[in-house]
Structure 1
Amino acid sequence: MKTTLAMCLMATAPFLFGVAALGADLRGHGGPVRAIAVTADGQTAITGGFDAKAIIWSIKTGEAREVLLFHDGQVDAVAALPQGRFASAGADGRIAVWEAGRSTPVAVLQGHSAPVVSLAVSPDGSTLASASWDGSVRVWPLSGGEPRVLQGHRGNVNAVAYLSDGTLASAGYDAAVMLWPAEGGAPVRVAMPAPLSALVATRSDRVFVGGADGKLSELNRGGTILAEVAASSSPITALAVTANERYIAASSIKGEIVLLDVKSLQPVRTFGTAGVPVWALAFSPDGKTLLSGDGDQMVGEWNVEAGQRLGTKIEGSADPMAEYAGNPDAEVFRACVACHTLDPHEGDRAGPT
């Protein structure tokens, strides 16, 4: 018992949180939702979760169209590809390419030796970039062939995003942003003040990164740091920007989502999930709706202008450990729910059950 408790505590101690009753429109994952991507027409979303599932959703109806099972472990990254295809990647280091209506991947991209935690599609739709905790970035031709392997980070690579000319930006735990020219050649390395967990690029090639210090920084395509603001009092976990470049959203480990004006980088409003971590963000193409991947198994849907959560309020399940409130061991087991199924009525999660 002591060994089990110690292992669970090491994995989850920084992220202890209680049970909350929250509202959401998309409910189907059996663990924290780690990744979200929305199709260009705004009709469909794909999500990945700690339960090792990728789910394709109808945004209009809130229904799960397909549940994709392939990965050995959590799904940490997803992407919407051209021609109605999707990609998922995760703890097993593999990238699966999916076509609608098929229960198995049409392609599996292998080469990473550690979890893949971010995916990005090139502007022309011809390549897929992946960021991995093996310290590398890979650029995969979607038509087939060997990937281009980019080495330069000194630790986990946590995020990738393309600029309009095909330049690839990456951010990592080594507190660095790397800008990789599309045609090859030496990358630009930009040192930042803290480890980085999130990155997003706008259509006009403004690059934003979020770090463990809660700060949001802006860089230009040449790597010059243009601005820096304190977006959160806790580590930033995800970033998303509207297509019209009006708003940028930043989420944190404590569950707040801060909406900032892109031009001034001043906060416009804050909304969040009552202390539950938010791991992923994605705007609808029209910028009116924001989807959040939450630590309570939900995909939250938010009205951007009103700052209000949409959908029917869903009551949280009864806490089976309520009678043990204040007991340290009970708190550890509550934290374990992020990765392990502890009740026969719960869904699958990434860890052993």
Structure 2
Amino acid sequence: MPPSSRLALAALACLLAVTARAEAPMRGHGGPVRALAVTADGSRALSGSFDTSAILWSVADGAALRVLRAHDGAVNAVALLPDGGLLTGAEDGRIVLWREGPEPERIVATHAGPVSGLAVAPDGRRIASSSWDGTARITPLDGGPALVRAGHQGGVNGVAFLPDGRLVTAGTDATVRIWPETGAPLTVQLDTPVNAVVAAPDGEIAAAGADGTLRLIRPDGGIRASVEIGPRPVVALALSPDGRRLAAATVGGAVGLVDRAEARVRLTLVGPGLPVWSLAFRGADELVTGGGDRLVRLWDLRTGEPIGPLAMTRQADPLAAFAGDRGAEVFRACEACHTLTPDGGNRAGPTLHGVFGRRIAAVPDYPYSPAFRRLDIVWTPETVARLFEIGPARFTPGTKMPEQTITAAEDRAALVRFLERATR
């Protein structure tokens, strides 16, 4: 075959890889899909899950090309390197580099707490990681020493690089911080914890708020605009390849497609009603989502419709029967991760059905951390109240549960009363 013909066929293959449409969700994970990344040509996707694995997918046909297993906890973050390397970060605090073959190449970095986010520097030679240990790290891939960024008063939920190489971090302390090469960061104080962050090619920063609002922040720290996505917390963000659009996902299952210049929602994608934990653009006109239904789905952004079948019927609200109950309202913050009924099953956290009188770490088929399994606690109204009084990190060291407290004693008591009724 002449060289020109081979080049033409190669070009055609690349075109088909980008334009081929998967006609069914990608199935293979045994838990919620917590992280997603898509290659620049759109041919492959990398997903991380609460089931402790990552999967490399062929997007066009939905086939799992590789299953990556090296972590002892949920894979919360994934990233793709320019040279084809794969990165996974997990609850076990480790960031693992994968290349060809079934085994990881090496552990790139280690945090003292769960890894919550990953980002690759513009030069492709460094990575940034965020952790619930309260720090972010910039780690050279050539094995040099890591630069630790500390200062957040709580867990760091996300990291991003600005075009000039500066690091952006976002945390549960309701701040976004912009770090120069040396010296103190520029701190942007917000009104709500920040669950995710991305940076656009022009330096603008998008921050996902636990209050359901997306904030657009200028490189100098000023807030240019606020966009209401929904009443539920925004938990994941993705930026389109051209930087013009943002996708913002909520624990309620809706995804808002935002025109960044206009700072408004142009389209809302409505799924089966389960949390959407992860997002990635596939070219200009498709979005890949991962969520509580354990699937990786594709969406046509020109129509707002799913690519392939999607059961669109919303699940009944499990808390509808408790309307007006203060404890049920407090539990709203927990329903994304925990079910209450015998047939509800495990989500990001174990089912709470029958929780009172149960020993800690006793739900079958749930991947508790080793440290959590070593604790000696029986769940009672008193121990549950204490958990939320002092926080999971202090009451159950080694937990995978996000750090949260309920400061009002009457709210803790209302939650306990609700759980006593709802989990029988």
TM-score bucket of the superposed structures, by smaller chain: 0.7 to 0.9
TM-score normalised by length of structure 2: 0.70
How has the CA–CA distance of structure 1 residues 315 and 52 changed in structure 2, closer, same or farther, with 3 Å as cutoff? farther
Deviates more, 1:229-238 or 1:105-114: 105-114
- Counterpart of 1:90? 90
Partner Cα separation in structure 2 for residue 148 and residue 335 of structure 1: 43
Partner Cα separation in structure 1 for residue 280 and residue 78 of structure 2: 11
Amino acid at match of 2:346: V
Q: Deviations over 1:174-230 (max 9, x none)?
A: 00001012x322211110110000111111111010111111111111111111121
Partner Cα separation in structure 2 for residue 155 and residue 93 of structure 1: 16
**Where does structure 1 lack aligned partners over 5 or more consecutive residues?**
1-22, 317-325, 343-347
Q: Does 1:54 align with 2:54?
A: yes
Partner Cα separation in structure 2 for residue 312 and residue 234 of structure 1: 26
- Counterpart of 1:189? 187
Counterpart contact for 1:203–1:243, Cα < 8 Å: no
Partner Cα separation in structure 2 for residue 351 and residue 226 of structure 1: 42
**Where does structure 2 lack aligned partners over 5 or more consecutive residues?**
1-22, 314-320, 322-327, 329-337, 352-364, 374-424
Deviation at 1:272, TM superposition (A): 2.2
Partner Cα separation in structure 2 for residue 295 and residue 24 of structure 1: 17
Q: Does 1:296 align with 2:289?
A: no
Q: 1:311 aligns with which of 308, 311, 316?
A: 308
Partner Cα separation in structure 1 for residue 301 and residue 271 of structure 2: 15
Identity %: 41
- Counterpart of 2:165? 166
Counterpart contact for 1:93–1:111, Cα < 8 Å: yes
Amino acid at match of 1:248: L
Amino acid at match of 1:234: R
Counterpart contact for 2:45–2:58, Cα < 8 Å: yes
How has the CA–CA distance of structure 1 residues 202 and 69 changed in structure 2, closer, same or farther, with 3 Å as cutoff? same
Q: 1:350 aligns with which of 367, 386, 405?
A: 367
Helix, strand or coil: the match of 2:83? helix
Counterpart contact for 1:339–1:351, Cα < 8 Å: no
Q: Does 1:133 align with 2:142?
A: no
Partner Cα separation in structure 1 for residue 163 and residue 269 of structure 2: 31
Q: Does 1:337 align with 2:346?
A: yes
User: Could you say which structure has the greater relative contact order, defined with CA pairs below 8 angstroms and 6 or more residues apart?
Assistant: 1
- Counterpart of 1:74? 74
Counterpart contact for 2:170–2:196, Cα < 8 Å: yes
Deviation at 1:341, TM superposition (A): 9.0
Deviation at 1:333, TM superposition (A): 4.3
Partner Cα separation in structure 2 for residue 334 and residue 261 of structure 1: 40
TM-score normalised by length of structure 1: 0.84
- Between Structure 1 and Structure 2, the one with more helix by share is 2
Q: Deviations over 1:53-89 (max 9, x none)?
A: 1000111221110000110011000000121100001
Q: 1:279 aligns with which of 277, 280, 301?
A: 277
Deviation at 1:294, TM superposition (A): 1.1
Helix, strand or coil: the match of 2:231? coil
Partner Cα separation in structure 2 for residue 315 and residue 253 of structure 1: 16
Partner Cα separation in structure 1 for residue 209 and residue 64 of structure 2: 32
Amino acid at match of 2:154: G
- Counterpart of 2:391? none
Counterpart contact for 1:24–1:298, Cα < 8 Å: no
Amino acid at match of 2:173: D
Partner Cα separation in structure 2 for residue 108 and residue 92 of structure 1: 12
- Counterpart of 1:320? none
Partner Cα separation in structure 1 for residue 83 and residue 286 of structure 2: 24
- Between Structure 1 and Structure 2, the one with more strand by share is 1
How has the CA–CA distance of structure 1 residues 106 and 232 changed in structure 2, closer, same or farther, with 3 Å as cutoff? same
Partner Cα separation in structure 2 for residue 297 and residue 268 of structure 1: 27
Q: Deviations over 1:234-273 (max 9, x none)?
A: 1001111212223211110110011111111111111122
- Counterpart of 1:16? none
Amino acid at match of 2:29: H
| Alignment coverage as a number of residue pairs | 317
Amino acid at match of 1:152: G
Runs of 4+ residues over 6 Å off in structure 1: none
Q: Deviations over 1:289-339 (max 9, x none)?
A: 1011110000110001110111244799xxxxxxxxx8x998344454215
Amino acid at match of 2:33: V
Partner Cα separation in structure 1 for residue 349 and residue 230 of structure 2: 29
Counterpart contact for 2:205–2:219, Cα < 8 Å: yes
Deviation at 1:46, TM superposition (A): 0.5
- 1:28-67 alignment runs, 5 A limit: 28-67=28-67
Counterpart contact for 1:340–1:351, Cα < 8 Å: no
Amino acid at match of 1:297: R
Partner Cα separation in structure 2 for residue 89 and residue 157 of structure 1: 14
The Cα RMSD (Å) is 2.7
Partner Cα separation in structure 1 for residue 147 and residue 105 of structure 2: 21
